[in-house]
Structure 1
Amino acid sequence: MHYDLIDLRLFVAIAEARNLTRGAERVHLAPSSASHRIRALETSIGASLFAREARGVTLTRAGEALLRHAREVFARLEQMHADLAPFAQGVRGHVSLWANTHATHSFLPDDLSRFLRRSPQVSVSLEERTSPEIAMAVARGEVEVGVMADDAEGVDVELIPYRADRLVLIAPLAHPLAGVASASFAQLLDYPFVMLHAGSAIHTFTMNAAAALGRHVDVRIQVRSFEAVCRMVAAGVGVGMVPRSAVTAGMAGPPLAMVALAEGWARRDLKVCIRRRAGLSRFAADLVACLAEGDGVPAGG
């Protein structure tokens, strides 16, 4: 196949405008030139992309497929430009960091802010992933640094203590579980849940923990932050399972009952995950050193 980015931009413009002339205007091409390019693109692909109608054009099945992929191409190009822009502005280093939901929403914002103030020449890309994904990606060399909660058994990585925390049940003060000292995860499953959004690491963990018991989670609502979980629980929407640090971080709003979870996995000591200290880039080593300054600090007592 032979085509270029101009052809793809033209195709997307026509598809969105549903009109060849207006689409051509968007990319500053004459209608005759646009028509020639589209015909050449269809010949190269071997399929018609548009059905011509009296008032414009509509996409064929092939056109719908190409539009989906073309939009993904341009989204990736924009991300590439965003990733490269800091280098043009004098940034000399970059570190890829993967972290689980817990670390991303609790400790990392402050710690990364401190690191970036110290190292203005460095940029960091942060992605939220589950702990097993983080361990495997670090072991394969896909990312230099991870922050995770599991022990990475069977994966050849080095783990450095980062922060101590644990998952707890939160519930409205009038909830039946509010007065107990501790509760099992199975007891929580008898009640509707407020959870972080699907795709978050803690969402995946919770669903897997329920499946291991042969149970399902009654998800009443999904939100985007631990703060929102706490507020929804306080409003009586359901119960939640969050890190203790998320409850004790000076949250405003109605008080919550906080109940210990009986499961051993409720202890969520976070660890920095790397392949080998000796193999880190200077910038990644500086980041690890910054994160390790919080070594073993308990959250919320």
Structure 2
Amino acid sequence: MLERQHLAILFEVDRLGSVTAAARQLNLTQSALSHAIRKLEERCGAALWEKDGRQLRLTQAGEYLLKLSKRILPQMERAEQVLADIRAGQRGALVIGMECHPCHQWLMRVMQPYLAAWPDVDIDLKTAFHTGGVADLLSHDIDILITPDPYETRHIHFTPVFAYELVLAVPEHHPLAKTDFARPQDLLSETLITYPIEPERLDIFTQFLLPHHCYPYRHRTVETTEMMLQLVAAGRGISAIPDWLLRGNSEELNIRTVRIGQSGIHKNIHLGIRTGEDSTDYIAGFLKTSKETKVLKVR
């Protein structure tokens, strides 16, 4: 019978690069580790490793079980943590994954009422993913995915919770500040400042510039919204940014907003949840709080 220890051995040997180090990590003797694998091979009727000189190389069966261990072990560890939290009197644990830079400011507005309403739920936030936000949601590394670009699957459902418009932020005296909307050609001579995301994933490129075969004179990236707005205010470039992020900043920084194209680029922040888990009370509570948290837009 396949046991958790077998998967843990394969996982640690792969991670640490040697049987000796894996045995030490798992608090086993090297002989006990080898015995466990040998018994599994006898039950499976297939070798998991074969010698390649002085090295051990996984067989096809070993490769299959290694992939299985990488998928199952994190889920088991998460389940144990949730059960431990419940034993300690907590309702559960909620791991939120976020794959959009400006969503952080929106999430902080949601967290205050949610934490107050659910004091017995432990919360963690992840912004770095092993293989992408959707993959981490499917593998149970996170419970909710915050994204402006949903990718619906049979096992994941996305709910829009906050609508906004992507606009251009330009300095007060910029020629575009006097226009009703920007055209793709208007950016040919501009420095465009964005978050550090590939152009093929940025709406300003995919929905506005590239369909018209236009590209800005220069494209530079910055990590934070605050730095982005300071650069725009100083005349170092223009930026594509959610309109609500400029509330309280545009007048103070002498920044103006311009619609992107005559119709604008309209977006939603979505919450992705594994199918069926919206009935879990504290997850349903996060959805409800997210929808009720209003963020005023720039005038």
TM-score (norm 2): 0.63
Match of 2:184 in 1: 186
User: What are the Cα deviations for residues 177-224 of structure 1, in whole angstroms up to 9, with x where unaligned?
Assistant: 565434425146524533334489x94544431477243666845555
Match of 1:112 in 2: 111
Match of 1:158 in 2: none
Gaps of 5+ in 1: 150-164, 274-278
1:92 is displaced (CA, Å) by: 3.5
Match of 2:69 in 1: 70
Does the alignment pair 1:129 with 2:127? no
1:232 is displaced (CA, Å) by: 5.8
User: What are the Cα deviations for residues 215-273 of structure 1, in whole angstroms up to 9, with x where unaligned?
Assistant: 3666845555534543565677753210122233559xx94643311432345587999
Question: Using the alignment, how far apart are the partners of 1:41 and 1:179 within structure 2?
Answer: 70
SS at match of 2:264: helix
One-letter amino acid of the counterpart of residue 147, structure 1: V
Question: Using the alignment, how far apart are the partners of 1:24 and 1:287 within structure 2?
Answer: 42
One-letter amino acid of the counterpart of residue 128, structure 1: I
Q: Is the 8 A contact 2:147 2:269 kept in 1?
A: no
Q: Between the two proteins, what is the percent identity of the paired residues?
A: 18
Q: Is the 8 A contact 2:167 2:265 kept in 1?
A: yes
SS at match of 1:90: coil
Does the alignment pair 1:213 with 2:211? yes
Match of 2:37 in 1: 38
One-letter amino acid of the counterpart of residue 32, structure 1: S
Aligned-residue Cα RMSD (Å) equals: 4.8
More divergent stretch after superposition (11-20 vs 36-45): 36-45
1:96 is displaced (CA, Å) by: 9.6
User: What are the Cα deviations for residues 273-298 of structure 1, in whole angstroms up to 9, with x where unaligned?
Assistant: 9xxxxx97766776566556556x63
Match of 2:9 in 1: 10
1:67 is displaced (CA, Å) by: 4.4
Residues 1-301 of structure 1 mapped to structure 2, 5 A cutoff = 2-41=1-40, 44=44, 46-51=46-51, 53-54=53-54, 57-60=55-58, 62=60, 67=66, 69-92=68-91, 101=100, 104-122=103-121, 125-130=143-148, 133=151, 142=156, 146-149=160-163, 165-171=164-170, 177=175, 179-184=177-182, 186-187=184-185, 189-190=187-188, 191-198=190-197, 203-210=201-208, 213-215=211-213, 220-222=219-221, 224-230=223-229, 238-250=237-249, 255=253, 257-261=255-259, 262-266=261-265, 290-291=289-290, 294=293, 298-301=296-299
One-letter amino acid of the counterpart of residue 169, structure 2: I
One-letter amino acid of the counterpart of residue 147, structure 2: R
Question: Using the alignment, how far apart are the partners of 2:25 and 2:92 within structure 1?
Answer: 37
The count of aligned residue pairs is: 270
Q: Is the 8 A contact 1:166 1:266 kept in 2?
A: yes
Q: Is the 8 A contact 2:196 2:222 kept in 1?
A: yes
1:5 is displaced (CA, Å) by: 1.9
Question: Using the alignment, how far apart are the partners of 1:237 and 1:32 within structure 2?
Answer: 64
1:9 is displaced (CA, Å) by: 1.8
TM-score (norm 1): 0.62
Gaps of 5+ in 2: 124-142, 273-277
SS at match of 1:106: helix
1:214 and 1:83, CA in 2 relative to 1: closer, same or farther beyond 3 A?
A: farther
One-letter amino acid of the counterpart of residue 243, structure 2: R
1:169 is displaced (CA, Å) by: 1.1
SS at match of 1:240: strand
